[in-house]
Amino acid sequence: MKAQTELLLYQLLWTAEQLAFPTFRNLSMSFESWAYSKRLLRIVNRLESEEMLETQAGDSLDRVVLLTEKGRQLIAGKRDPEKEWQREWDGIWRMVLFDIPESQRALRRELRSVLHAHHFGCFQQSVWVSPDQMGSINKMLSKKRAELGKFTLMEGRLLFGEKDSDVVASSWDFPKLNNKYAAYIQYVKKHVGGKKVINPDGVLARERLLWENAIKQDPLLPAQLLPKGYLGQKANQLRNKMLAVMMKALLEK
């Protein structure tokens, strides 16, 4: 995806999926004139034809551009980090316990892959945990009950002074995850840093690769469960700032 295209989609996402372009242009200009002057009209029209955007007539000269669900998922992915961190936790841990023999190693690997994809943490080899309710994964696992044999879904709270932070530390590799976020932070500070960005397409491509490499491994736990020193929120703030700087530079051309 070209830098102009990606930045335009990000801008729509940041502004509650609705952008009335007079914010960025002289009020006497039509939307088409403004977009044409910024070399964005062709991009807007193409994204609309690809069902990434939809446009509606607004008041006076304004044309309102909306980000479709398809466009949102392209940029934000299926999980929004800020919404995930802000979600409430009821204090209950959900657990999947299973006992699959060594002779069924492939099935065991498949189950672990499914649990990992649903952001469960491996508390022990055959005990996986999550702070979230298990509606979707319950349906998936129920279909495989005949193959899986012994597996159990449970809910529970810690007792006798045990700490939720210990469950988090045992279940997810946050030091490894922080290394991924640290690499992202270092790259963005080095290649953006408020200065003119050379080769924005290349910078955004590498930025996106580093970001996805970290975010796909992140369980995005509720804020109260995040361990001390966690870098995900810092990286996300830096990312928003970096993209805003690049978008501003694009619009001021």
pLDDT in tens, 179-224: 999 999 999 988 876 556 666 667 777 888 899 899 999 999 999 9
123, 156, 189 - which closes a domain: 156
- 104 shares a domain with 51: no
pLDDT above 70 for 253: no
pLDDT at res. 79: 78
E strands along 36-182, which residues? 53-57, 63-67, 93-98, 121-124, 127-130, 151-156
- 182 shares a domain with 127: no
Residues whose CB is less than 8 angstroms from the CB of residue 72 and which lie 6 or more positions away in sequence, other chains included: 13, 17
pLDDT in tens, 122-142: 998 889 999 998 877 777 777
Q: What is the pTM of this model?
A: 0.75
CA atoms within 13 A on the CB side of 189: 10
Residues whose CB is less than 8 angstroms from the CB of residue 152 and which lie 6 or more positions away in sequence, other chains included: 96, 97, 98
The CATH number covering residue 26 comes to 1.10.10
- 149 shares a domain with 197: no
Q: Is 132 a member of any domain? A: yes
Q: How far apart are CA 97 and CA 139, in angstroms?
A: 16
- 18 shares a domain with 68: yes
Domain count, the chain: 3
The CATH number covering residue 107 comes to 3.30.70.240
Q: Is 79 a member of any domain? A: no
Residues whose CB is less than 8 angstroms from the CB of residue 173 and which lie 6 or more positions away in sequence, other chains included: none
Q: Is 24 a member of any domain? A: yes
Residue 98's domain spans which residues? 92-156
Q: Is 180 a member of any domain? A: yes
> Of 123, 232, 249, whose CA–CA distance to 175 is shortest?
232
- 152 shares a domain with 180: no
Kindly indicate the confidence band of residue 28, based on its pLDDT and cuts at 50, 70 and 90: very low
* 3-state SS class at 206: helix
- 103 shares a domain with 64: no
Q: Is 163 a member of any domain? A: no
- 145 shares a domain with 187: no
Q: Is 164 a member of any domain? A: no
Give the tokens for residue 148.
Answer: 């899986």
pLDDT, mean over the chain? 77
